[in-house]
A and B are shown apart, each in its own frame.
Chain A
Amino acid sequence: MAVLVVAAHDNKSVRANVANAVAAATKLDSDVHVLVAGKDCGEAARSAAALQGVTKVLHVEDAAYANWLAEDIAPLVVKLAPNYSHVVMAADSVGKNVAPRVAALLDVGQVSEAIQIVSPDTFVRPIYAGNAMATVQSGDKVKVLTIRPTNFKAVGTGGSAPIEQIGGEGGKGLSSYVGAELSKSERPELTSAKIVVSGGRGMGSGENFKIIEALADKLGAGVGASRAAVDAGYVPNDYQVGQTGKVVAPDLYIAVGISGAIQHLAGMKDSKTIVAINKDEEAPIFQVADYGIVGDLFQIVPELTAAVGKK
């Protein structure tokens, strides 16, 4: 049976992590369909059709799906689900919102944030902030899973899967979309950036994050933060890296003024190379850092910015 990947998108294209979800899906079955639902999302459907490994795109135009309200999108997925062995979503704020609702409507469990597919019914998922790895087996007829994008190498483009138009289910009228306050940034998106520079409580203020941004811009990096920095209001919530924030696994992660609490490590310890800048040589972050430098961040960060080559 085929696998259904439910894709989040911005109408123009599917999210980058859909390529990771498709990669996970291809490990389940060779027949991978992608659902692209929304209003005026034809371009996004075409972007899904171009992903390698996709065998069909289901394109749904219905105003009810314009803002991805879980109450409306879940019944659509539930209607399609009996034709599939698995429903897969990326474990981002859309997948985490929608997939459990789909699972409960189907009366099946959800495998949350799978990091490895052992077989079509067996998955590895992190628990306790990644301090334990559970191998779980699902006996449900349709398996609903979210996957952690950083653990599945994105498929490439160049494919040309057929696009089938299907009808929508309309809205349920339970919820309505009011608007968004999105953080504006020209920088690479945190979860797909090759380099991430993150600041913690040690930054002392939002103003001081300028030195993090200067370094990030020099490196072409995304900017992240610890929970402490977000709670203190230095940076917006979507910068948070960790167990309860975003999971990143860039080639290079630079932690500045971050102590290295397990909840933070949960979001970045799969990075290829980790650099820690901290004035406390005992800080736990040094236990996971490939390169640590002990000292005052206000001196080291500008020096580092000056020393790295132009991007």
Chain B
Amino acid sequence: MKVLVAVKRVIDYNVKIRVKADNTGVETANVKMSMNPFDEIAVEEAIRMKEKGAATEIIAFSAGPAQCQETIRTALAMGADRGILVQTDAELQPLAVAKLLKAVVDKEQPGLVIVGKQAIDDDSNATGQMLAALLGWSQGTFANKLNVADGSIEVKREVDGGLENIKLKMPAVITTDLRLNEPRYASLPNIMKAKKKPIETLAPDALGVDVAPRLKVLKVEEPPKRKAGIKVKTVAELVDKLKNEAGVI
């Protein structure tokens, strides 16, 4: 079974982002970019499936500018076999990414697609569900544990009240949650080996996908800042403030 994983290039989670002065977006020039953390989890899960013999080949997909090559290389260094970059400088929204993924799925026929539950930049939490819809496949979102058992996959999901178990018919789309696994670091020899692994570059047009955004971004602003309050010395003082100043207890 082939497994397709999506890897998005995002601003590293440790970077304190800045809103552009002209309010058109967030400053992305000269900031550290990394693979979306949920996608590292997706890649790791695919590698574990391959190690267990449940997967035969892992394809890492990314959509975006040429630099997404680096993100794909990271996936290849972790253990993916080859990459597909849909290269575009256009703004991609989840529906467009889902359509690009669908076109690649139609071509590659994987048995499973694993994507992150949410990209930490745009926080949409939508792409995997949209892909499943477009393919008419089942979806296992917010996965905490997976178990592939011939023709179906058992998914433990992280939900509001705790955990939920569902069983999906394959092929399926999975979106990863934080507790699914702890992604490995790529070793130096594997980083070297990854340089030789193939990456195919495609244009959205070649896949017949219109990536025009559906949501127009009118402006991007700083949120209202919360200002630091005071430090109290004793618990008695804290209780007094909460009762008499804040009035919350």
Contact = CB atoms under 8 A, between A and B. Distances in A.
A179 B179 CA distance: 19
Contacts of A181: 162-165
Contacts of B229: 274, 289-292
B236 A307 contact: yes
A36 B36 CA distance: 36
Nearest to A134: B220
Nearest to B20: A132
Contacts of B234: 293
Nearest to A174: B138
Interface stretch (A18-26, A53-61, A96-104, A154-162): A96-104
A138 B95 CA distance: 13
A151 interface: no
Given A70-B139, A108-B95, A140 B214 contact: yes
Contacts of A140: 214
B16 interface: yes
Interface in A152-172: none
B222 A133 contact: yes
Contact of B239 (A96, A109, A263, A304): A304
A289 B226 CA distance: 8
B228 A288 contact: yes
B137 A182 contact: no
Q: Contact size class for A?
A: 35 or more
A289 B161 contact: no
Interface in A250-272: 251-252, 262-263, 269, 272
A287 B16 contact: no
Given A176-B167, A236-B162, A251-B248, A70 B129 contact: yes
A136 interface: yes
A112 B130 contact: no
Contacts of A180: 159, 161-165
B199 interface: no
Majority secondary structure of chain B interface residues (helix, strand, loop or mixed): mixed
A94 interface: yes
Given A110-B94, A238-B159, A269-B226, A195 B217 contact: no
A293 B246 contact: no
A135 B219 contact: yes
Contacts of B160: 92-94, 191, 238, 246
Majority secondary structure of chain A interface residues (helix, strand, loop or mixed): mixed
A308 B249 contact: yes
A267 B169 CA distance: 34
Given A101-B132, A180-B161, A227 B178 contact: yes
A307 B137 contact: no
Contacts of B93: 109
A288 B224 CA distance: 12
A107 B165 CA distance: 29
Contacts of B106: none
B198 to A, nearest CB: 30
A237 B241 CA distance: 32
Contacts of A281: 231
Which 6 residue pairs across A and B have the least CB separation, nearest first?
Answer: A109-B214, A290-B229, A104-B130, A100-B129, A104-B133, A100-B126
Interface of A: 69-71, 74, 92-94, 96-105, 107-113, 122, 126-140, 173-183, 191, 195, 219, 227, 230-231, 236-238, 243-244, 246, 251-252, 262-263, 269, 272-275, 281, 286-294, 300, 303-304, 307-309
30 contacts: A70-B132, A71-B139, A74-B133, A96-B142, A97-B141, A100-B125, A100-B127, A100-B133, A103-B95, A104-B129, A105-B133, A108-B95, A109-B94, A109-B213, A110-B94, A110-B126, A112-B125, A128-B121, A131-B16, A134-B220, A175-B167, A180-B161, A195-B248, A231-B178, A237-B158, A244-B177, A252-B246, A287-B228, A290-B229, A292-B232
Given A100-B125, A109-B213, A133-B221, 17 more contacts: A100-B94, A110-B126, A112-B124, A128-B26, A129-B123, A131-B19, A133-B223, A134-B219, A136-B215, A136-B217, A176-B166, A182-B163, A244-B177, A291-B246, A292-B232, A300-B235, A304-B238
